[in-house]
Structures are given as C-alpha cells and as structure tokens.
Amino acid sequence: MPSIDPITRDLWQVIAATDEVPVGLVEITTLLDVRLALTRDNDGNPVVWRRTDEEQGDEIDPETVLDRLPVITGYGYIWTSLGTPPKELFPIPEYAEADRKNMSCGSIGLAVSAPRAVENFLDMGHFPYVHTDILGAEPHTEVKEYDVEVSEERDEVLATRCKFIQPRAAKSATEAMEVEYVYRVPHPFCSVLYKSCPEDENRRDVIAIFLQPMTEERCRAHLLQSMIDSTSTITDLRRFQQTIFGQDKPILENQYPKRLPLDPRAETPIRADKSAIAYRRWLSQKGITYGVIPMAS
Amino acid sequence: MTITLYDFELSGNCYKLRLLMSILKLRYNIVPVDFYPDRQHKADWFLRLNPFGQLPVLKDDDLILSDSGAILAYLAKKYDESGQWFPNDPAVTAEVLRWHAVADDITSTASAARLALGFFYDFDIEKAQKGAHRIFRLMDEHLWFGEREGRDWLCSPDHPTTADIACFPYVMLSEEGGISRQDYPALRRWTDRVRRIPGFMVMSGIFPAGRAAEES
Amino acid sequence: MTLSLSDPTWYPIASSDDLPFRHVYQGQLLGRELAVWRADDGNVNVWENRCLHRGVRLSIGINEGGELKCQYHGWRYANRSAGCTYIPAHPADAPARRIQNRTYPVREAYGLIWSAANDEQAFRPFAGAEGHDWFALRPMPVNAAPEDVLAALAGLAPDDQPADLLPGLAVRFGGTWYFVQPVDAGRAVIRGLLREQPADAVATLRHYNETLSKLRDRLERAAARKPAPEPLQPTFEKLSADLATMPDIAIPRGNTITVVVRRKWTSADGVIGFELAARNGHLPTFQPGAHIDLHLPNGMTRQYSITNGPGELMSYIIGVKQESASKGGSKVLVETVREGDLLSISEPRNNFPLRRDAVRTVLIAGGIGITPLLSMARFLDKSALPYELHYFTRAGEQVAFRGDLEALHGKVILHTGLPRAEIGTTIASALGQWSMAQHVYVCGPGPMLETVRDTATAQGWPEESIHFEYFRNDKVIDNSSAFDVELARSAMTLHVPSGKTIMEVMRDAGLTVPSSCEQGACGTCLTTVIEGEVDHQDVYLNRSEKASNTCMMTCVSRAKSARLVLDI
Ligand SMILES: N[C@@H](CCC(=O)N[C@@H](CS)C(=O)NCC(=O)O)C(=O)O
Ligand code: FES
Ligand SMILES: [Fe+2]
C-alpha cells in the first residue's frame, strides 16, 4: 500500500454528502487506500470507522461502533481524517449567507488523481473545447493575463482577475458575457471558485470541488454550488453543474500519467497555466506525495 | 403535438432520444429528473409515469411512453418523413430490432460498469466489463466486414437507422466504465461516422468528431 | 522471451485500411500507446499518445488534415514534425519555443503500417516481401503473451508444411505470413498477410477470421489460467529544460539548414517560385506567416515568407520578385540559382502570427505580398474558419500561385489593374466597419500598408486588430542618445556617442560583428541583453520580444539607460 504523507494524513478529507447517508444503514467508501464505513445516528450525526466486514446497506446500530475516526461536517459534507486534523475546515464564508441556494451536486467517481482534478478546475483554457457553447466557444479562446499568489496567512493559492468570454456562464445566464473568476485552493484536494453572477452584479456565485482521494489514481469529486439564483430549481442547478462536470470527466480520465507530475520538466506550461504552476509548486513545498509524482530529488 | 422528455443529462438512454429528435429537428420540452444523487426516478410521481422506475420517459400530448428503444421506434415512425430511421421493410425492421436488443445488452454491461465506477452502484464491475468487451468484439467484427462489403452502418440499408442511435451512446461512454476501445478499430471508425450525421448533437462525455475530409 | 521497451524491431501496428482520412487511430506497441493518423497528403504519423501540454491522449483529438488538434485546449501539432503550431489560449503569440511531440518511425508497406520503439534500425522489408501484391487479413487482437501467440500460430501450420519462424515475432507457412504485434506483455495483435490477392476477397477474409478467432479463444482460455504478466512500464521522456519554465521569450536563433532547390518556375509575370526541399526527412515546423532567412551565394541574407499550408513540411515554397532594380538580392536568386543547387536557410521564424480566434479574418495582399497570406489562407481553410483574401496586382498576368488560390475554399477576390484611386475605396469596402474579434492582415508595398492602416483606423479598427510585417525598416532611426555598453564576455566597456551605432563602435574596437541588412530587419546581429533598458528601433523583434528586454539588434537599437550589458 502506498504510504500516505503526514500532511495528507492529518488533513480533513471529504467522504460523502451528509444528506445522502441514511440513518442506521452502512455506506462504504475508500479514502487514501483505506476502506471506510459510515452511517448516521438517530440525531443525524455521522459516524465513521475503518471498515471490517460490513457491506453496503447493512443495518447497524451506531452505538456499537466504538473505534471511530474523527468527524466534522461542513458545506453539506462529511469529512474525516486518518491522522490528527486541525480544529476547523477552511472557510467559505458565503455558504452562510441566508439567500443562497446551497446544494451538493452528486459525488462522481473519476479515474484520475485528486490533484489532476483540482488543476482542471483551475483551468480556463479548456472552456471552449470541453465546455463548448456553455463556458466558452471558439473563436474566443484567449486566456488573458491574471494574477496568482500564494497567500501566506491563509496558506492557499489564490488566482484573481481571471476573465473569459462565456456564451452561457450560468443556469441563469441568457447571453454571452465576459465573466470574471476568482479561484482559491485552500486545501491540497479542494478548490473554490467565485464567478460573476448574472442575477446580481455585486455578488458572486460560488462553486467548489472537494476531492476525496480514494487511491493515488482514483478519486471521487464532491461538488458544491452556492448560488444567487431566484428562479432555477435545485434540480435545474444540479443538472447544469453535472453537465459541466460530465464534460470534464472524459478529459481527466484520458490524462497520463494519472498522478500529477510535480517536476517542471514533465509537461509544458504556458502563461495561461500560471495558477497550475503555483498549485504544483505549493504541493511540492508542502511535501504532498499522495496522488502526485514528486520531483526527483 | 407537444413532446416532453423526462430527462437526465448524464444518461445515455435519455441521450438517444435527444439525439434522434435533434436529427429529426423536433422541438420538445425537457423535464429534468434528478436521477443522481436524488433518485427521483424512484419517486412516486415518477413511478406513476413509468412503474419500472427507469428513465427515459417521453410524453407526446397525452401519450406516455418508456424504454428508449421503443420511443426511438415511435418517434421515427411518427415524425421521420424520410422513413429511413425505422424502415418499414419487414426484414430491415427485424434487423433494427435485433440491434435494439444489443443496445439493451450494452446498457446492462457497459452502462452498468459506468454506473458502478462513476456513481457507485453496487454492481459486479468485472462481469459488466467482460460482457461489454464480448459485445464490442462482435460489433467490431460486424462493422469491419461491413466496411469490406460497402455497409457503413449496423443494418443493411445505406443510411443509419435507430439501431445506430440505440447502440452509440454507451459505446462512446464505455471508457467511463473502464472499457477501452483500443482493440476495436472498426467500432471506433463507426463512432466517427455517427458523429458526422447531420443534426448530430453531443452529451457530456461525448466529444464531436472533426469534419470529414472535404471533397476535392 | 521477455519483451523489452528498447526493442528496435519494426512491427506492424495497424492496417492501411485502419487509417481513413480525418480519423485518429489508437494503437500500442511494447506498452507505449500511440496516436496514429493519416494527413490529407497521405502521410502517416505515429506519435506518442499524449499531448505535451497536459498529458491528454491525442487519440481523442481531432485530425484536421494537416494538423492534429488536442481535445483539451486545442493545441495544434503539425503533420510529420509533430511540432506545435498554435496555442489557442494565447492566439496572438507564435509558439516561440520548439514544442515537439514524441514521434516514432513509420513506414507504410504491404497493406500494413509499421513502426518501431526507436530508430536504431532502418526499415527493411521482411524476406520475400518484394514482388508480390500483398493482401492484409482482418487484424485479431488477443489477450495473451505475444510469444504464446506466436507459438500458437506456428501450430496452425499443416503437418506437411512446417512453419518458418522469421525474425521479429513472425511466422510463415505456404503463402501466409503472420506477424505478431507485441502490444504489451499480455496483449498482442495478429496481423496476417497473404502473398496474393484471393479470388473471393470477402470469403477469404471470413475464412481466416474464423480460424484466428478460434485460435484467439483458445489462447485466451489458456492465458486466463496463468497469472497475468506484469504490463511493461514505459516512462515518459522529460521535456527539454527550456520548455519547463514558463513562457519567456526565447528567440530561436536556430541552426541553418541546407536545402536543395527542387523546382524553380515562373509563377507569374515577375514572380519566380522556388521549391526548397529537405535533403532527407522533413523541414522544421512553421506557423502561418512565418519566413525563412535565405543565405545567398553572394553572402547576402534575404527573408522570404513560406507559402505552405498546415503540415506541409517536405519542402517550403517561396515566391521571389524579379526586380530589375533589385541590388543583388533576389537578382542572384532569379538569375544564378538553378534547380538542384544547394542553399542554406534559417529555421522558420514568425513575426506575423495568425490568430485563429477571429470571427472574421481579412487578408489583403499586394503583389509579392501574397506569399505569407497564401499560407494563412491555407491554414484557415483546413480549420474551416471564415476569411476573405483580397489580392491586388497590376495585371492579370501578375497573379502568382494562381492554381493554389483556386484550390482554396474561402472567399478569394482578385483585384487586377485597379487605378490608384479605386484601390483605396476597394480596401475601404473590403475592410468594412470593425466589430469584435475581427482581424486584418496585410502584406504588400509600403504605400498599400499605409493605406490599409489608415483606412482601417478610420473605420474603427483598433491597433491590435491590424497586422503587418516589415521586411524593410522604413522608420527614421533616432541615434541621438549616448551611453556605455559593457561587453560581458569580452570584458570591455565602450562608449557609444550619438551618431554612431553600437555595431560600429564594437567594430571600431576590433570585434567581428555579423550583420546583413544593417537596418534592423534581418535578425543577423541579434544579441542577448544582460542588463540595462533597450531603446528598440528595429522591425525584427515582435512586441513581446521587445518588452522582454532580453535581446536587441545592435545595428539600430540603442539604450534608454546609461549603460547596457551585452552577452558578447
Ligand atoms: N431498457 C431501458 C433501460 C433504461 C435504463 O436503464 N435507464 C436508466 C437510466 S439511463 C435508469 O433509469 N435506471 C434506473 C433503474 O434501472 O432502476 C431503456 O432503454 O430505456
Ligand atoms: S492537454 Fe493538449 S492542449 Fe492542453
Ligand atoms: Fe472543466
């Protein structure tokens, strides 16, 4: 079994959407090559443990589970850790705003490492080719100059002033517009984006991707939307996000190698990839080795 | 006529109908059904439309239909003036239905593997993958000899039929189920041809083909 | 026998029939996945199945006829060289660095496509190959070890006709040859050839297909009882170090290449066409708008635009104007260079990059200025992008490359013999009012450039949408500044007074400084800048290169700072 680096071990890792875990029934999943079982007790609180012989759908009395892993809930999801996690999850303050539609959009399996999926989430250059006629369309393919920094105080990668011409930026969009994005990577396997909101020009829609590294080369993408949209239903909004994600999936699954190479000489970066370069460097400096091909020392 | 499709974007079976309706230039409404994660196809309101609890369902005015293969036949017979998508000739009808049945086998193998890997259904992945490879081998052989005999499509007419539409989506989505098409070159070429049918549209997970070489 | 990643043997990897036009075939040899595609010129490309940008399989990309387009970010790679010609995220830049995908050797013969893991061995036909009209069987993929497949094939031979084991995992008996393509440790493809065309092709194919299917089923049953062999573990080669860093602008100084004049012809009244062919293999990747420096027998250097379309790398075709007034340059070419002569050219360089992100592209050519625009039109053509090409000449006989223009699918409008006044109005209506994502490219005589520039500006075209290229520096050089230059490697500091160029001062100090045009147009005196701020006055470097402040032309450019440090 591959070794888990200490940074990864001590992080909170997402494993399921809270509402989708039935009370008193076993759900099974894999995290960092470890087989896990989870359920919720009568109060709805999640219980997570290392799976032994439980099967999917078994009935279980959560009281009988003694050897539990740490658990925290946040942004509609259950998070656990194989090590000693920090007190709190990274912040997404917008999630608490009362008028937002917050929703999970399904947990989807991907045959690629979690960091590859994060990098795809940060990437604007693929919009016209992969999300044709929705997030981009030829001939408008240019990725203009934008800013990237690694925020010291919050220990996260931040890309700002990212702009792209989009035919249909959101469910609520009706015409093409130049959309501005901000991207955050507050966790090695999670990213949050803020984009211009068609309904209210002073606010931003928030979309996040939380990746559950199942193995080094396979992950589960948990999607969160926190939208300002007074007309669409949750089903509509989910459908929009799943359409987008369903387009990324075949690209990600055709990427080789499946782990993210951190050696700068493995792939060819261009200016548009500034955020990806910063992300790779950040992972490298942190000492993450799970799901990546570390730089040869 | 008002056509309404009860639809899930990531479903290949629903896509079969979107594809044919796009080719036939039919206008229709979509009622999105949250198949995942909400399992709305098992909700009471949906079971009243289709007691089998399966997408897709199509409503044409008051008529309610289910099963993608059956609906393809219905749409073609009712709305395809050219008569080519579901030909009347008895022998060809039998051929088309034969491949509709293969399409269901592809759903129960290639699509099952995809549901297991992508949506965490509790299915036997290896068995599903093996089953899909068995079908793809036969299709590749059929299409390879077709190319030698001047037949570009699954059935004998010199144009595509609903058989091609019914089999296409889960062949194209097979890699999401861990089923490579590397060993099926004739099958891969056929997917290029399907993607070049006038009126073709994509779904998430399926990319368009490039243009055919221009006539010179 | 174990398979080796470095096995240099040529193996068949596909049938010729597997590669219809505009298709990308997914193959594999010795554990390495391959993207295999036939360009519209018939050439077969065998590339590593992985885009250099972000590692996406190229077999899911799009064969555009002369280029392969990656599905993820639309990067284009040229037929033959696998060099990257276009990066859509930065449409205004010419990919400066030599981004080139890994290619494998290829040969199409006997109905099969052959390749090898490396080019240590030249392709040699198998024994007895010559002189027959070969007939390829349906390939049969088998999930079993290649050596087991070979042994089983040998077992098919009838008792009275023992199998001949041939080099390269092949076996023959009677008129049937079987080649085993080692896909991976546990996977193979049987590729059979018959020595002659059978009477009933389809019946024969079915017969062999049945035999081989049974063999495959037996082999796979046996393989399933054994532990699966470990797949080969090919590694991806590292990129060159200069590709690993971001962007910076490195100007390929390039090597010179010797080419042979394959053809010289009169393309039109006053225009001579030259076809410059590689002596072996193909020429380097170029982008539309690119030119080469041609080193003439008399020591002069001249620039000529490449007229070729995408992926046409076997030779470059240029057009040379037969000028009576021309002093020595084109005159030497036109009068003394003959077919069969060798010439030396630079690698292609692009100061006139074509954006492929326009909703409308207007190409305006005057006289010999057609050359770069013909190349652009050809690229746009292959990608089915809309464009209008306006070509102005004084008379119909002066229309060069007429046949090539007729083969284009876009809008090509010839304007012959227009009176001066009408040229202006024609240009004005050709341009029309500007709207978003429209671009105009112009190449022609100076006055025409000015007309297009002024008219376009008057009709609302912003500066970034008007593209032109200078082969001559018509700017007035301001040589009033005075400053010091420090020559880092020569360890000397020189003072450049006003009225003298850096080049002159260096020559006065006894240094040899190569030059050609001495007007900041040809690039011969390109020098690396280590420190100081350059006052660029040349027309050779493009805007981003100038902004990088890392290089300069010492024949005309000067310093804005008091001191410049040069890498000389
Ligand atoms: N034979 C049916 C199969 C349809 C089918 O499998 N639908 C899937 C969605 S793509 C479904 O609803 N599955 C849920 C279930 O079978 O319970 C058809 O072709 O329509
Ligand atoms: S991965 Fe091929 S263009 Fe980006
Ligand atoms: Fe995407």
Nearest chain A CA: its distance from C39 CA (Å): 22
Nearest chain C CA: its distance from A140 CA (Å): 6
Note whether C322 and C330 are within 8 A (CB): yes
Residue B163 lies in a domain: yes
Contact C138 B141 (CB under 8 A): yes
Hey, whose CA ends up nearest to atom 3 of ligand 2? Answer: C73
Residue A288 binned pLDDT confidence (cut-offs 50, 70, 90):
very high
| Residue where a domain stops, chosen among B79, B103, B125 | B79
Q: Is the minimum distance from the CB of C173 to ligand 2 under 6 angstroms? A: no
Q: Over the stretch C185-215, which tens digit does the pLDDT of each residue have?
A: 999 999 999 999 999 999 999 999 999 999 9
pLDDT over 50 at B215, yes or no:
no
The full 3-state SS of C109-160, as one line of letters, equals: ECCEEEECCCCCCCCCCCCCCCCCCCEECCCEEECCCHHHHHHHHHCCCCCC
**Nearest bound ligand to CA A269?**
2
Q: Over the stretch C27-68, which tens digit does the pLDDT of each residue have?
A: 999 999 999 999 999 999 999 999 999 999 999 999 999 999
The chain-wide mean pLDDT, for chain B, equals 96
Mean pLDDT across the stretch C246-255? 50
Mean pLDDT across the stretch C344-351? 87
pLDDT over 70 at B81, yes or no:
yes
CATH code: domain of residue B60: 3.40.30.10
B118-141 CB burial, b ≥16 within 10 A, e <16: bbbbebebeebbebbbebbbebbb
Residue A86 lies in a domain: no
pLDDT over 90 at C317, yes or no:
yes
Instruction: Assess B189–C contact: CB distance below 8 Å, yes or no.
Output: yes
pLDDT over 60 at A267, yes or no:
yes
With 0.90 as the threshold, say if the pTM is over it.
no
Beta strands (DSSP E) in chain A are 13-17, 27-31, 34-40, 46-50, 71-74, 77-80, 101-110, 147-151, 156-166, 177-187, 190-197, 200-215, 218-227, 260-261, 292-293
pLDDT over 50 at B216, yes or no:
no
CATH code: domain of residue A132: 3.90.380.10
| Residues in C 54-83 with any Cβ partner in B closer than 8 A | 60, 62-65, 69, 71
Q: What is the pLDDT of residue A203?
A: 92
Residue A254 lies in a domain: yes
CATH code: domain of residue B121: 1.20.1050.10
User: Rounded to the nearest 5°, which phi and psi values hold at C95?
Assistant: -55, 105
Mean pLDDT across the stretch B138-162? 98
Residues A211 and A260 in one domain: yes
Q: Over the stretch A34-62, which tens digit does the pLDDT of each residue have?
A: 999 999 999 999 999 999 999 999 999 99
Q: What is the pLDDT of residue B26?
A: 98
Residue A1 lies in a domain: no
Q: What is the pLDDT of residue C250?
A: 42
Per the model's pLDDT, the better-predicted residue between A63 and C475 turns out to be A63
Closest residue, chain A, to C235 (C-alpha)? A257
Mean pLDDT across the stretch C516-543? 83
Mean pLDDT across the stretch C366-394? 94
Residue A278, classed as helix, strand or coil, is helix
Instruction: Assess C214–B contact: CB distance below 8 Å, yes or no.
Output: no
Residue C251 binned pLDDT confidence (cut-offs 50, 70, 90):
very low
Mean pLDDT across the stretch C466-492? 83
Residue A88 lies in a domain: no
Q: What is the pLDDT of residue C325?
A: 54
Chain A residues closer than 8 Å to C235 by CB = none
Residue A85 lies in a domain: no
Q: What is the pLDDT of residue C99?
A: 86
Residues A58 and A170 in one domain: no
Q: How many domains does chain B have?
A: 2
Q: Over the stretch C120-137, which tens digit does the pLDDT of each residue have?
A: 999 999 988 999 999 999
Q: What is the pLDDT of residue C1?
A: 61
pLDDT over 60 at B164, yes or no:
yes
Residues B59 and B106 in one domain: no
Residues B177 and B95 in one domain: yes
Mean pLDDT across the stretch C162-167? 92
Residue B156 lies in a domain: yes
| Residue where a domain stops, chosen among A36, A55, A80 | A80
| Residue where a domain stops, chosen among B54, B79, B104 | B79
Instruction: Map tokens 């996260």 to a residue.
Output: A156
Nearest to A36 by CA among C480, A180, A46, B205: A46
CATH code: domain of residue A36: 2.20.25.680
Domains of chain C: 10-124 (2.102.10.10), 130-245 (3.30.530.20), 256-346 (2.40.30.10), 360-468 (3.40.50.80), 483-566 (3.10.20.30)
pLDDT over 90 at C281, yes or no:
no
Q: What is the pLDDT of residue A106?
A: 93
Burial category of B59 from C-beta neighbours within 10 Å (exposed 0-12, middle 13-18, buried 19 and up): middle
pLDDT over 90 at C240, yes or no:
no
Per DSSP, chain C holds a count of helices (H) and strands (E) of: 10, 34
Domain enclosing residue B56, as ranges: 3-79
Domain enclosing residue A43, as ranges: 6-80
| Residue where a domain stops, chosen among A80, A109, A127 | A80
Residues A259 and A117 in one domain: yes
* Residue of A128, A142, A265 with shortest CB distance to C238: A265
pLDDT over 90 at C241, yes or no:
no
The chain-wide mean pLDDT, for chain C, equals 90
**Nearest bound ligand to CA A120?**
3
What is the separation of C-alpha C272 from the centre of its chain, rounded to a whole number of angstroms?
Answer: 24
| Lowest mean pLDDT across C119-128, C244-253, C302-311 | C244-253
Q: Over the stretch B169-206, which tens digit does the pLDDT of each residue have?
A: 999 999 999 999 999 999 999 999 999 999 999 999 99
Residue C326 binned pLDDT confidence (cut-offs 50, 70, 90):
low
Q: How many CA atoms lie within 13 A of C159 on its CB side?
A: 0
Residue A199 lies in a domain: yes
**Å from CA of A125 to ligand 2 middle:** 9
Contact A253 B122 (CB under 8 A): no
Residue A87 lies in a domain: no
Contact C55 A142 (CB under 8 A): no
Q: What is the pLDDT of residue C252?
A: 47
Q: How many domains does chain A have?
A: 2
Residue C253 binned pLDDT confidence (cut-offs 50, 70, 90):
low
* Atom in ligand 1 nearest the alpha carbon of residue B42: 17
